[in-house]
Chains A and B, each alone.
Chain A
Amino acid sequence: MSPREILVVDDNPADVALVRESLAETAHQSRVHSIADAGEAINYLRREGKYRNNVRPDLVILDLNLVQRDGHTVLLALKGRANLRQIPVVVFSSSAAASDVARCYGLGANCYVRKPADLKRFFAAVRAVEEFWFGYVCLPDKEEG
């Protein structure tokens, strides 16, 4: 089976690097692609413009505090589209605000994980997310469209 594809939408390169580090040596050998900008991320997921030929990701890891447009916009764009809705979205944010959590689930996020402040826990959280979605969960076949 070809490796799974994860799209990380996060404008903090340090966090993207940590996610990559977390997944570098796991059994799933997922491919990690990262985009910093909300608008670009939406184009990528819709496979528009220069992203026409890219593979649709199996999982989106989405930060909330993005420049210009925030992560909620990406969530709305994803979950508001019939052919994108099935892609699981893990919101990965340092915000502990109950309002952020509620809003994300309201917009259809599949789960909300707070970025741990401790390195070991950060690695563990990202690996647990990967293991859950790629090791245990049954995902739908990728629709071509």
Chain B
Amino acid sequence: MAMIELCKPGQQLRLLLIEENGDEQDPTVWEMDYDGKSLPGDPRRAPAKLHDWLNERNICPCAPRRNAESQLAKKVEELARSNRELEQFAHVASHDLREPLRMVATYTQLLAERYRGKLDLHADQYIDYAVDGALRMQTLIEDLLSLSCLGRTGERRRTVECDLVLEEVLRDLSLAMKESGAVVHYKSLPSVVGVRSQLAQVFRNLIGNALKFRSDPPPVIQVTGERAGNECLFQVSDNGIGIAPEHHQRIFAVFQRLHTRAEYPGNGIGLALCKKIVEQYGGRIWVESRPGAGSSFKFTFPAAELEPADA
């Protein structure tokens, strides 16, 4: 049944067929469309019937597979090209948007600096809104750029010692940790294969979120990692505000936020970045959480090759 390309009820069934005794290297492919009714029953339920039906007509159901494979390869190539074009577009667009936006941002700031208190109260507020909007858009564009640049760091993948990465990230976050009175518990983490800066970004975003979305008691964050076969499973757990199950998927989409900026600042890009990085390496990322019960973010990453036992 490998020659069946599309097989949904109500839709047309398209068959790529080859005549029996046809030339294997250069098969004559027939494309026939059936409305389903003219077929001997549902081919998924009764493949034997279809087989007989084909046999009666001297049609070999196996050979066209090669053709289908080359079509699939073509589609994959098309998809890859369209992905590349999209990334390029995001990159160029965000670059070109930066210049005019810089003008808006600097000149509204200059207005604020020169004319604050000299116009009326409304004017001050309008200027503040304009400055705020421009600055926020700048960080959005920077974020968009970093997302679109992810695939093109040019850095080679190598063995990354996650222990060192985590220590570096905790150093970066030490001020925020001190301010919130946070405690981070961690044990030795396994090594993985990847780009160090990207791994650091995943840990920084997850731990940063744990610090940001805290509840009343000081944050207690636990970072663990263990090797399981060819991959490593990492976990960043906190005692923060938690996330309702209906949002567990949505939070990983770009620019998705669950809170107003007044409650928690941010653009909604951190987890999207994490997801893109992890999936680039064939890993998965997900969350286990309930409101008020903390969150536990988990992700997998390809494990580093084990050192030979006897050196």
Contact = CB atoms under 8 A, between A and B. Distances in A.
Contacts, number: 29
B138 interface: yes
Interface string B89-112: 000000000110111011101100
Given A117-B105, A117-B138, A119-B105, A94 B99 contact: yes
B96 to A, nearest CB: 10
B113 interface: yes
**Interface core residue of A12, A117, A119 (most chain B CB under 10 Å):** A117
A21 interface: yes
A122 to B, nearest CB: 6
A18 B106 contact: yes
B98 A94 contact: yes
A120 B110 CA distance: 9
Nearest to B105: A117
A122 B106 CA distance: 8
A18 B109 CA distance: 11
Contact of A119 (B98, B99, B101, B109): B109
A72 interface: no
A21 B107 CA distance: 11
A14 B105 contact: no
Interface string A89-131: 0000010000000000000000000010111101000000000
Contacts of A118: 105-106, 109, 135
B102 A115 contact: yes
A18 B113 CA distance: 13
Given A94-B98, A94-B99, A94-B102, A119 B110 contact: yes
Contact of A21 (B98, B105, B110): B110
Contacts of B107: 14
A65 B102 CA distance: 15
A110 to B, nearest CB: 24
Interface in B93-139: 98-99, 101-103, 105-107, 109-110, 113, 135, 138
Contacts of B102: 94, 115, 117
Contacts of A117: 98, 101-102, 105-106, 138
A22 B106 CA distance: 12
B138 A119 contact: no
A115 B105 CA distance: 13
A122 B109 CA distance: 11
A56 B195 CA distance: 49
Contacts of A115: 102
**Interface core residue of A21, A94, A119, A120 (most chain B CB under 10 Å):** A119
Nearest to B112: A119
12 contacts: A18-B106, A21-B110, A94-B102, A115-B102, A117-B98, A117-B102, A117-B106, A118-B106, A118-B135, A119-B105, A119-B109, A119-B113
Interface of B: 98-99, 101-103, 105-107, 109-110, 113, 135, 138
Q: Shortest 10 CB-CB distances between A and B: which pairs?
A: A119-B109, A119-B106, A117-B102, A14-B103, A117-B138, A94-B99, A119-B110, A117-B105, A122-B106, A18-B106
Interface of A: 12, 14, 18, 21, 65, 94, 115, 117-120, 122
